[in-house]
Chain A
Amino acid sequence: MTDHSTRLTRRKFTAGLISSSLLISSGLAGREPEQKGSFDLMKEVLRFKKVDAYTTSVFTKESIAQHLDYADRYGISRMFAANPMTQIELTPAEFRELNNKVIAAVRQHPDRFTGQFTLNPRFRKESLDEIDRCLDAGMTGTRLYQQVKINDPLYEPVIEKLASRNILIFMHGECQMGVGGYKMKYDAGKVKTISTPDDFADAARKYPEAMFQFAHLGGGSDWECMCKTFEPYPNIYVDTGGSNNEEYMVDFALKHLGEDRLFFGSDNSFYQSIGKIFASELTDGQKEKLFFKNYQRVLKKGGFHVD
């Protein structure tokens, strides 16, 4: 079997856990409030080992440098990354080229980046072949966009193949009025094939054995709507990425989805993605799950050994 090792190191992970046990928590509900001026935000942020389940990069030298800068700044040991793939026409030649770019970039920084691949299910055979090629190249999951909705029958062979190998199916989704069929009288002028939470729920019902990642809780969409839609579907995970950092977003997700279905993701909005977690009422244990353990557990199902 292909070695899909992502080379996450036990040493760094363990160091994070040890340090977290030595420091006191910061004024969670029911605890004594911190004294003014005594809170050290960066010390708190760096207590937790993190992997970013949603990094997007164009993989230029400059963009890679900035990602590494943010990652070092906030203690993110590994970024699961792919190109932004928003073109509605994504021919096999185009998606192979994009994936090749990711593979090449990851080879330059194998200790920091793991690649994710894109495809276009309108090209059935080529997409199924690309799954094999990319997994063989060390990629760990998909980065799907809006070429086709996730519950479109065109996706069925792709989902079936990914589910059979326990590969996490990451796909862009939105929950905005006027997008993807939701309250279209407020038409926001986007492509019609953007997947909504209802589309994800439809796919999750049809393929309970598949694992889906809805990107992204902070993507600007209605996160209450997302969480309430996903609550009955244990095979839908969400990442907390995106530029929207409304108060209580993460707590609401915890309340409706539980502590095992949340991943940390940035979608390159590093301030907001870190800030919203540390503003939440999550316990240390829940933060450890969100920042690392949940994603680790899901990847292990696909044979990706993070030790």
Chain B
Amino acid sequence: MWIDINAYTGSWPYKQLRNSTLSGLAGRMDRFGIDKAVVAGLSGIHYKNTQPANEELYQELKSQSGYQERFIPFAVINPAYPGWKQDLKKCIANGFRGVRIYPQYHDYLPDDPACIELARICREEGLITALTIRMVDSRQRSWLDIPHVAGTAVGEWTLRNFMPLIRAVPDAPYFILNIANGLAVDQADLPLLKKANVLFDTSGRSLGFMPDLLKQYPAEKFAFGSHSPILDYVTGMLRIASLRPDEAGERDKELMRSGNALRFLKQRG
């Protein structure tokens, strides 16, 4: 069984995306043998008030039988904008299982008190907080996109940028998605990261050579993610599927394909 913990439906304003609806995503999943996907409303990243994207996702989920069994909705929440607590309550009532935050796009920092409060509420509600290191490779970004550009003074974010949040709410469950610019954190944060309830998805560039990464972190820390429809649907799978038996046994592979995702998602019961 395969579960994709990092997928979207919706639009990206700077480029036409293919398969950017639930129908399109289901087609990709069918083609590559993926059973379920965690999905969020991509459009919400560019909305100040993100709730319409969550509502769009909810309506899309109800549009076809089987979608609510196959797709696991996460809400895009902007804790720096009024009304987010009410939005979150509505999303919880509608069966959303986690929250995706985008401080880079919504103009706040992860140690903003509202963001910390959001992670605490998620922890209390049994929701997962999903942190996305980057959305697109800044080297090909649109001139209208955020000014975080690799190699410049305003560089792309790294895992380090999110550590203040994990430090503030260390016992919350986190997905860490599309990891670029390295897995390194400050030495003082390393024990925390290893101990924390975090799951890295396999879509990101920084997952360079999985056999080596599995010597640094156990298989319990990784799960298949595609970052679809922005990144291709196969690379995240390949990082798991191409592991040799002496690098990851069948148990570990199954954890990465779906077991870890199920463990996190079942925390809400």
A residues adjacent to B (C-beta < 8 A): 26-27, 33-39, 41-42, 45, 66, 73-74, 174-178, 183, 186, 188-190, 219-224, 243-249, 251, 269, 271-272, 274-276, 278-280
Contact = CB atoms under 8 A, between A and B. Distances in A.
A274 B239 CA distance: 10
A275 B228 CA distance: 13
A244 B32 CA distance: 20
Contacts of B242: 41-42, 45, 73-74, 271
Contacts of A278: 234, 238
For the residues of B in contact with A, the DSSP-based class is: loop
B196 interface: no
A120 to B, nearest CB: 24
Interface residues of B, number: 42
Interface of B: 1-2, 15, 17-19, 27, 29-35, 136-137, 139-141, 143, 149-152, 205, 207, 209, 228-239, 241-242, 244
A248 B24 CA distance: 13
A246 B33 contact: no
A271 B151 contact: no
B140 A220 contact: yes
Contact of B33 (A38, A219, A220, A244): A38
A177 B232 contact: no
A11 B231 CA distance: 35
A33 B19 CA distance: 14
A41 B34 contact: no
B143 A246 contact: no
Contacts, number: 126
11 contacts: A33-B27, A35-B33, A36-B33, A37-B33, A45-B238, A188-B152, A189-B151, A243-B205, A271-B235, A274-B238, A275-B237
A216 to B, nearest CB: 12
A39 B32 contact: yes
A189 B2 CA distance: 42
A66 B210 CA distance: 12
Contact of B234 (A37, A66, A276): A276
> What 9 A-B pairs have minimum CB-CB distances, sorted nearest first?
A275-B235, A39-B33, A279-B232, A33-B30, A220-B139, A27-B31, A275-B234, A279-B234, A222-B140
Nearest to A274: B238
Contacts of B230: 246-247
B261 to A, nearest CB: 15
Contact of B232 (A190, A243, A275): A275
A39 B233 CA distance: 13
A289 B205 CA distance: 27
A66 B209 CA distance: 9
Between A74, A244, A245, A276, the greatest number of chain B beta carbons within 10 A of the residue's beta carbon is seen for A245
Contacts of A243: 137, 205
B249 to A, nearest CB: 16
Contacts of A222: 139-140
A186 B139 CA distance: 11
B168 to A, nearest CB: 32
